[in-house]
Amino acid sequence: MSDQAASDTSAPAIDDRGVLYLRPKRRPMLLISVAGLVVAAIGVATATVFLIVLGLIAAVAAGLSLVPGIAYLKLDEQGFEIKKIGKRWGAAWIEVERFEPTKVLVGRYLSPIVEVHYREGFGGRHLPTSTLGRTVGFSQQYIELGYGLKADEQAALLNEWRSRYGN
């Protein structure tokens, strides 16, 4: 699988450089994009600007995440990198103590997620530095799901790579 290729297979492959790319699954992103277009259409029909804007944002964001290279979780011998629309972050394996599946409160619901436990002295580097980041809660402490793996599977994969390259 090349750097620019998008995959929807259940078993991600390591490319010839030893890099593993996990990409957002197509079906959920397509469903969100279609739902966003439906909301925008309802907004047009009812002349509600808020619904038009909300729907278009959802449709465009979900649609863009399907463009190769826009969104991924990359694992290589140096560490991991997460790229999303407008944001890129990661850490070297040596910085990470472990990855652990957990649940966090999102709205009124507990959502499964992978928590990054950094080694002593590295955690501060991954805290939000901007006012917006602190206010909205952008955190490099959690890795979202969405790559076709459950939280425990994603944490196990990350821990396997950390064990292989982080010591």
For the stretch 119-163, pLDDT in tens is 888 877 766 666 666 555 567 788 888 788 899 999 999 999 999
pTM (2 decimals)?
0.68
75 and 38 in one domain? no
Residue 44 inside a domain? The answer is: yes
Supply the CATH number for residue 111's domain.
Answer: 2.30.29
Residues 60 and 79 in one domain: no
In the predicted structure, residue 43 carries a pLDDT above the cut 90? no
Contacts of 10 (CB under 8 A, 6+ apart): 148
What's the gap between Cα 82 and its chain centre? 6
Both 54 and 126 in one domain: the answer is no
Query: From CA 158, how far away is CA 22, in angstroms rounded?
Result: 11
Environment class of residue 71 by beta-carbon count within 10 Å: exposed (0-12), middle (13-18) or buried (19+)? Answer: buried
pLDDT number for residue 14: 75
Torsion of CA 136, 142, 147, 149, to 10 degrees: -140
pLDDT in tens, 6-42: 444 445 667 778 888 887 776 666 677 777 878 888 8
